[in-house]
Structure 1
Amino acid sequence: MAQVLEFKLPDLGEGLTEAEIVRWLVEVGDVVAVDQPVVEVETAKAMVEVPCPYGGVVTARFGAEGTELPVGAPLLTVAVGETAEGGRPATGPGTADGEAARGQGPAAEGSGNVLVGYGTSEAPARRRRIRPAQPAPAAPAGPPAPAAFAAPSANGRPRTVETRDTRDTRAADAPQQPERTGTPGAGGTPSRTAGAADGPVPVISPLVRRLARQNGLDLREMTGSGPDGLILRADVEYALRAAAAQGRTGTGTAGEPRTQAAPATDLAPADRAVTRIPLKGIRGAVADKLSRSRSEIPDATCWVDADATELMRARAAMNAAGGPKISVLALLARICTAALARFPELNASVDTQAREIVQYADVHLGFAAQTDRGLVVPVVRDAHARDAESLTAEFARLTESARAGTLTPAELTGGTFTLNNYGVFGVDGSTPIVNHPEAAMLGVGRIVPKPWVHEGELAVRQVVQLSLTFDHRVCDGGTAGGFLRYVADCVEQPAVLLRTL
């Protein structure tokens, strides 16, 4: 007899509490191997593939693509062991034994890995589709029937939910509908289950509660599509769209409709040219961090122009000598770590609760990287102990991972100082927001030919503008100015760095 085991969304580390399902990599009926990636999720830190610690046949999936699930919510169930005649598991969703066996019985052998990014060294087996012995009855003519999968109910047993299978077909012009659970009420709005408690309505975040309150939606009239009836933001937005279509935002007592105008703040009429982009995932995390930085950190900025001609000549000489090419960013990072050794006050953060300045001996250097999914700040660990060649290789690796969306949470956190090369956007200067909880950020503009007085004569030199934005709580202007001046001196005369090598 097969044993059906439940695999839940694992703890992704770094304080992450939820993730959005981006793409399912398996379907119900697929055979999966131990540690085979089964779903691609996006957290507030990165896009990651989640490996399943069990090997067997997928019997159920929980959540459609685009659904946000909290850590610990069921992802899928896997039938481990012998299979019934026809290739299907002996027990599974859809049978009484399958419902009772889900997650029951002794633990089956698996990898034991429940954290993203950890798995065995064995390559996953090629998955294959197991089809039932008897063909399914022909469907009536008309639109394709929605796929069915199991979703958890309040008592923990699976229940069938219908949703469109959007795997590999997520288009910008086809908005994803959340999975609906419970019995739909009038206008498509999910109705509250009979006998529901009168206590607080479970919602995934205070934002969802506020969104419902602002638009006059009664959460008690809804049954959420999340685990145990948890109301997700997608549920509220679905209800608001349904209400707008019928000219209402909720139901009154005894089921009588309460007519209201469609809320202009959340549901723009079709004839308006309005695009709404949800602040979630990485974009939402960046927004939260920038808002917190601006509200908590009393920042100040100083800047200086520097003649980078000698730095560019030194780089050209390094690259002409053979070996891996050295990037300008790596040279600037090497200068930055040397400056932090002289001015450790800037390699710090502020513990507001303890009212202490925390200085760090090691430099974990973050750098801003623009991707299609938003701005991310990968971190080069122990940058102070790396040479220019090692820094170049690490910058290239992290940048590629950022663009591919495969950075791990550990590669996006723990920085102590940030280097922001906004010159790649063709601008000279900027006053960036400090990357909370760090205390400072060095900004580098584009390096361009400009008129410059060199050795008493007007000449065309390669000039760059450097800026330092810093937390005024950790140091005063003298320390910040000294740091920036030292960086500029190293840019103008790279031989100054020989003192620290």
Structure 2
Amino acid sequence: MIKEFRLPDLGEGLTESEILSWKVGVGDTVSLNQVIAEVETAKAVVELPSPFAGVIKELHEQPGSVVEVGKPIVSFEVADDAGQAPSGGTGEAASGAASGAPKREPNLVGYGAVPESTGRPARRPRNIPVPESVARPVDTSPVDTKPAQTEPAQTSPAETTADRPRSTPPVRKLAKDLGVDLAEVAGTGPQGLITREDVQHFVDGKSRGISAGAGAGHEAATSAAWQAHPDGRESRTPIKGVRKLTAAAMVQSAFTAPHVTEFLTIDVTPAMELLARLRDSRAFAGYKLTPLTLAAKAVLIALRRNPSLNSHWDEETQEIVTFNYVNLGIAAATPRGLMVPNIKDADSLSLARLAEALTALAETARAGKTPPSDLSGGTISITNIGVFGIDAGTPILNPGEAAILALGAVRTVPWEHRGEVALRQVMTMSLSFDHRLVDGEQGSRFLADVGAILADPGMVLTMV
């Protein structure tokens, strides 16, 4: 029998994912839980395991396609007695061996899509309201000049492929912007897929008058569009994935939470000397220790004295939620864009374990393997702009959090020390906070506490 696997809700309430690659092809025999595809959500790259053991019958989507949750992406041919239900939630039931009563088999953990019949609304990541423009499902219908009434009410994937030009949403958007009817474009991609290059070459040919095509009005529109975007002078990148979510989240944060930013420049020479001693000690052999490690520990200690910095404004219930734990977010620049994964219960970690967690977080983020669960639930964040040689800035809050601390570059400069001018290692810290949750005094005391620890690590004895 034929079983469809629908794109599952990957656990964070996201409405769509992009198919990055297929690990299988039509005709391949796969086993249960074998990785069959790699997909990218707005938060992470995720490997999809097979919900069936069987033979790949059809791949409904091509790499580059942005697919809504619940849409079929692959069909399997499985044995009639396989007794398995697709994790995408097709609503099919397997017969019970003893009673014969219908039942739904359990979904694969973390990959269960919510069936339409349950009536459950799609979930959203906590503390990251997504604007309607982002949450709205992508229009996957291609550019088509046929009247709406000539379209069939429902078409199978095979019929859609036969009747309509095959392309990806970004390519359809490009074609629409350039006034190109994809029905006139020959696809050079896999199985006739129309690529961006195909559209650009078509427009290039139209502008030179060497392609037969539409009428004069269409020709003029196409030519004008091409003149506005001459070959090689511009490049366009579709706004999707992490970039799309980050943009929406930053706009929401900037125009919802009243930001205040304070700056503090301190002599961190004692902290750097401590760092050098720790690196040479046996207790920290094998651990990667950086200024970020000490700053993160200082933040965790300072939060005990200033809990308002570790809180959340709940607009729906009109309550201030103060967290009795710290999920410490660390802003990370990755090839996929800015991410802020967080270390769960960071306040419970020793300095060595914190260093270990920071190293693992950075390596996972750079590899694009950060799981969605690590990108939600943060309570306060740090961004280390000093690694780029920047001294200070005005960081925007991670949505739902009360504060974010930016660490500037550590520089050797002339500095007043014990009544004389000496060369010292100096750093500027920038603290942005939500003024609804944090008063100026509270923010200032927190920043001063962090600075005091880094300027004189022995001050910790007076704070704990």
Tell me the TM-score normalized by structure 2.
0.74
Task: Note the 1:236-255 alignment, pairs <5 A.
Answer: none
Find the partner of 2:267 among 285, 307, 324. 307
Identify the residue that residue 337 of structure 2 maps to in structure 1.
374
1:423 to 2:404 alignment = no
The aligned counterpart of 1:460 is: 423
Cα distance in 1 for partners of 2:331, 2:112 equals 23
In 2, distance between residues paired with 1:235 and 1:467? Answer: 45
The letter of the residue matching 2:28 is: D
**What is the aligned partner in structure 2 of residue 494 from structure 1?**
457
> Which residue does 2:79 correspond to in 1?
81
Deviation at 1:354, TM superposition (A): 3.5
CA shift digits 1:184-215 (9 cap, x unpaired): 6xxxx99xxxxxxxxxxxxx99xx99x96x88
Q: Is this contact kept in 2: 1:45–1:409, CA < 8 A? A: yes
Alpha-carbon distance, 1:43 to partner: 0.5
**What is the match of residue 47 of structure 1?**
45
* Other-structure match for 1:17: 15
More helix, by proportion? 2
Asked if the contact 1:54–1:110 (Cα under 8 Å) also holds between the matched residues in 2, the reply is no
Q: State which of 105, 110, 131 in structure 2 corresponds to 1:115.
A: 110
- The answer (yes or no) to whether the contact 1:244–1:267 under 8 Å persists in 2 is no
| 2: CA distance, partners of 1:354 / 1:30 | 52
What SS does structure 2 have at the residue aligned with 1:300?
strand
Distance 2:227 2:363 in 1: 38
* Cα shift at 1:104: 7.1
Q: CA deviation at 1:240?
A: 10
2:19–2:40: 8 Å Cα contact kept in structure 1? Answer: yes
Which residue of 2 is the match for residue 143 of structure 1?
none
Instruction: Measure how far apart 1:489 and its partner are.
Output: 0.5
- 2:241 corresponds to: 281
Identify the match of residue 385 of structure 1 among 307, 329, 348: 348
- Which amino acid counterpart does residue 243 of structure 2 have in structure 1? R
2-side partners of 1:486 and 1:264: how far apart?
60
Q: Does the 8 Å CA contact 2:18/2:66 hold for their aligned counterparts? A: yes
| 1:346 Cα deviation from its structure 2 partner | 1.2
Q: Compute the RMSD of aligned alpha carbons.
A: 3.7
Tell whether the 8 Å contact from 2:10 to 2:112 is kept in structure 1 after alignment: no
Q: Where does residue 69 of structure 2 map in the other structure?
A: 71
1:61 aligns with 2:59: yes
Conservation of the 8 A alpha-carbon contact between 1:44 and 1:285: yes
Q: Does 1:328 align with 2:291?
A: yes
- Residue 401 of structure 1: aligned partner: 364
**Which stretch shows the higher mean deviation, 234-243 or 303-312?**
234-243
**Partner Cα separation in structure 2 for residue 332 and residue 417 of structure 1:** 13
* Structure 1 match to 2:278: 318
> 2:250 touches 2:398 (CA, 8 Å); kept in 1?
yes
Q: Which residue of 1 aligns with 2:158?
A: 159
- Change in Cα spacing, 1:56 to 1:482, as seen in structure 2 (3 Å) is same
Tell me by how many angstroms 1:490 deviates: 0.5
C-alpha distance in structure 1 between counterparts of 2:16 and 2:95, whole Å: 25
In structure 1, give the amino acid aligned to 2:13. Answer: G
For residue 433 of structure 1, what is the amino acid of its counterpart? I
> Alpha carbons of 1:265 and 1:400: their partners in 2 closer, same or farther (altered >3 Å)?
farther
Unaligned runs of 5+ in 1: 83-101, 119-152, 162-179, 191-203, 223-233, 248-254
Q: How big is the shift at 1:264?
A: 6.3
CA contact (8 A) 1:417 1:441 kept: yes
> Would you say the 8 A contact 1:5–1:104 is kept in 2?
no
User: Structure 1 103/493 Cα, relative in aligned 2: closer, same or farther at 3 Å?
Assistant: closer
Residue type at the aligned position of 1:338: I
Give the CA deviation at 1:156.
6.3
2:94 and 2:224 map into 1 onto residues whose CA distance is 54
CA distance in 1, matches of 2:11, 2:42: 11
Cα deviation, residue 26, structure 1: 0.6
Structure 1 range deviating more: 491-500 or 61-70? 491-500
- Residue 343 (structure 1) aligned with residue 334 (structure 2): no
Structure 2 match to 1:199: none
Residues 1:107 and 1:323: Cα distance change in structure 2 (over 3 Å): farther
1:283-337 CA distance string (max 9 Å, x none): 1111111111122121111111111111112222222221443332222111101
Secondary structure of the residue that 1:262 maps to in structure 2?
Answer: helix
- Superposition TM-score, scaled by structure 1 size: 0.69
Q: Secondary structure at the match of 2:395?
A: coil
Q: Distance in 1 between matches of 2:261 and 2:91?
A: 57
The letter for the 2-side match of 1:292 is Q
CA pair 313-47 structure 1, distance change in 2 beyond 3 A: same
Given that 2:94 and 2:105 are in contact with CA atoms closer than 8 Å, whether structure 1 keeps it comes out as: no
Match of 1:440 among 395, 400, 403: 403
Aligned equivalents of 1:264, 1:42: Cα separation in 2 = 35
| Alpha-carbon distance, 1:351 to partner | 2.3
Structure 2: how far apart are the matches of 1:374 and 1:53? 31
Give how far 1:488 is off.
0.6
- Residue 68 of structure 1 and its aligned partner are, at CA, apart by 0.2
Return closer, same or farther for 1:71/1:380 CA change in 2, 3 Å cut-off: same
Asked if the contact 1:4/1:104 (under 8 Å) is kept, the reply is: no
Q: Describe the superposition over 1:361-383 as per-residue Cα deviations: whole angstroms up to 9, x where unpaired.
A: 11111011111221111100011
Matched, 1:294 2:254: yes
> Distance in 1 between the 2:399 and 2:458 partners?
33
Partner of 1:98: none
Q: Secondary structure at the match of 1:20?
A: strand
Structure 2 portions without partners, runs of 5+: 81-89, 97-103, 114-151, 185-193, 208-213
Aligned residue number for residue 137 of structure 1: none
Indicate the larger mover: 257-266 or 488-497: 257-266
Identical-pair percentage:
36
CA distance in 1, matches of 2:335, 2:275: 30
Deviations along 1:111-152, one digit per CA (max 9) or x if unpaired, are: 84163499xxxxxxxxxxxxxxxxxxxxxxxxxxxxxxxxxx
1:158 Cα shift?
A: 4.6
CA, structure 1 residues 473+241, in 2 after alignment: closer, same or farther (shift >3 Å)?
farther
- 1:485 aligns to 2:448 (yes or no): yes
Work out whether residues 206 and 223 of structure 2, in 8 Å CA contact, stay in contact via their aligned partners in 1. no
Q: Which residue in 2 is equivalent to 1:230?
A: none
Quickly say closer, same or farther: Cα 1:385–1:117, change in 2 above 3 A.
farther
**SS of aligned partner of 2:432:** strand
The alpha-carbon distance between structure 1 residues 116 and 330, as it changes in their structure 2 partners (threshold 3 A), is farther
* Partner residue of 1:450 out of 396, 409, 413: 413
